């Protein structure tokens, strides 16, 4: 119970509406203090290692922004690397009474240049475009198109088959 109180309201809602009905269980839950504004945490979901953040609505651009970085000791922040131990980067998004989740497998984040490789530095943050956002720029439309493959809405008609397929895709 204490673990759920630490999770934050959105993640707690996701656990009860999505994870429990899908027989996905959280263990090894840890908050990340430095990214508290994004409800940053890590956990295992069954056997998968998850890095999780809540995205934020920004006033001037469509979509939502999320941080995705690490700090080694007291050094500067840096992008996550292909060699880092995680399977998925999960991003919770909400607007009004709408709630959804992006479930990005690490290999897709490598492919899209978000996770660093030996050849290319990744990103420390990026925008996500849930289905309820109307992307207008060409870049936002292109990004939304690939991102929606990894997105599901959390409402009365949650597609649990899609949820399970997303968490089995790496």
From first to last of the 170 residues of the chain, give the pLDDT tens digit.
Answer: 334 445 677 788 899 999 999 999 999 999 988 888 888 999 999 999 999 999 999 988 999 999 999 988 888 999 999 999 999 999 999 999 999 999 999 999 999 999 999 999 999 999 999 999 998 899 999 999 999 999 999 998 999 999 999 998 54
Residue 164: HSE in the Cβ half-sphere, 13 Å Cα cutoff: 8
Residue 73 confidence (pLDDT):
81
Residue 130 confidence (pLDDT):
97
- Structural domain containing residue 88: 2-166
- Nearest-angstrom CA–CA distance, 143 and 108: 12
How far, CA to CA in Å, does 30 sit from each of 16, 36, 150? 19, 12, 24
Token couple for 116: 């660093």
What values do phi and psi take at 145, rounded to 5?
Answer: -60, -50
Q: What's the domain count of the chain?
A: 1
* Angle at alpha carbon of residue 48, lines to 45 and 51, rounded to 5°: 80
Residue 74 confidence (pLDDT):
82
Q: Let me know: does 123 contact 102? Beta carbons within 8 Å.
A: no
- Nearest-angstrom CA–CA distance, 145 and 48: 25
Q: Which residues are bridge partners to 78 per DSSP?
A: 70
Residue 33 confidence (pLDDT):
82
Q: Is the pTM of this model over 0.85?
A: yes
């Amino acid at each position: 119970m204490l673990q759920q109180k630490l999770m934050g309201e959105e993640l707690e809602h996701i656990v009860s509406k999505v994870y429990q009905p899908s027989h996905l269980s959280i263990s090894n839950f840890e908050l990340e203090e430095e990214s508290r504004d994004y409800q940053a945490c890590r956990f295992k979901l069954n056997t998968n290692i998850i890095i999780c953040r809540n995205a934020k609505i920004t006033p001037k651009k469509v979509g939502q922004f999320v941080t995705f970085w690490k700090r080694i000791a007291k050094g500067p922040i840096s992008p996550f690397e292909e060699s880092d131990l995680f399977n998925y980067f999960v991003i919770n998004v909400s607007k009004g009474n709408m709630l959804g989740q992006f479930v990005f497998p690490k290999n897709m984040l490598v492919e899209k240049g978000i996770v660093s490789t030996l050849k290319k530095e990744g990103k420390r943050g990026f925008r996500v475009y849930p289905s309820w956002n109307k992307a207008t720029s060409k870049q936002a439309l292109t990004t939304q198109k690939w991102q929606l493959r990894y997105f599901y809405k959390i409402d009365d008609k949650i597609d649990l088959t899609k949820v399970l397929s997303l968490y089995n895709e790496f």
